[in-house]
Amino acid sequence: MEMFTPFTLQTARLTLRFVEPGDAEALFRIMSVEATMRYFSSTPWQALSQAVDNIEQTLKGYRDRTALRLAMVPRDGEHAGEVIGTVTLYAFDLRNKRCEIGYILGQPHWGRRYTQEALRAVIDYAFETLQLRRLEADIHPDNIASERLLQSLHFQREGHLRQRWYVGDEVSDSIIYGLLRQDWQAAIHPAQ
């Protein structure tokens, strides 16, 4: 299978681009904040080396086509040109034309709908360019903001998996959301 080759997606306010080695400090700033990592199965990063290692795994994902991670970069305003978050397609099952989708946004940018904007573009890319049939998202049951975000993008709640992950020191359940290409297309192109 070919590697993912660099490309960008443009939204009204963002450029979505491949993560690069020079993004380590920005990713560390995002993922070292406890509030940002509250619902993740990994703890807040403690050292810049964790960001460097994470980026190396991201680059490997591009090479072996197992993950596609895009940095969210505002084009205008105070944070123009800075990485403020990421959206990732991963756990590809090409035979069944599906994968998982994940996202993270730095705390200073919460409430501005950047993630919704980025996800719209990545969902379009997944369904139109990659020709996937299904996307899945796995969220912590207490992450109401993420749940509302997925619902706003027409994901359907499909399951509740008990004691699936450790989040910090606690065993946590997961809520599974799914989005089918046909449902996405019907939502964004309703019958006239």
What's the pTM value of the predicted model, to 2 decimals? 0.94
- Is 174 a domain residue? yes
Q: Which domain holds residue 161?
A: 8-188
Alpha helices in the chain (DSSP H): 24-31, 34-37, 48-64, 114-124, 144-152, 181-188
pLDDT tens digit sequence for 25-64? 999 999 999 999 999 988 999 999 999 999 999 999 999 9
d(CA 6, CA 187): 29
d(CA 73, CA 45): 21
Say what percent of the chain tops pLDDT 70.
Answer: 98
Question: Would you put residue 147 in left (φ > 0), alpha (ψ -120 to 50) or beta?
Answer: alpha
pLDDT tens digit sequence for 118-165? 999 999 999 999 999 999 999 999 999 999 999 999 999 999 999 998
- Is 2 a domain residue? no
Determine which helix (DSSP H) or strand (DSSP E) holds 103, and give its type and residue range.
strand 98-105
pLDDT of residue 1: 53
- Is 38 a domain residue? yes
Is 170 a residue whose pLDDT tops 90? no
Q: Which residue in the block uniquely carries the two structure tokens 């993630």?
A: 115
- Is 1 a domain residue? no
- Is 152 a domain residue? yes
Q: Identify the CATH number of the domain in which residue 85 sits.
A: 3.40.630.30
- Is 160 a domain residue? yes
Q: How many structural domains are present in the chain?
A: 1
- Is 53 a domain residue? yes
- Is 130 a domain residue? yes
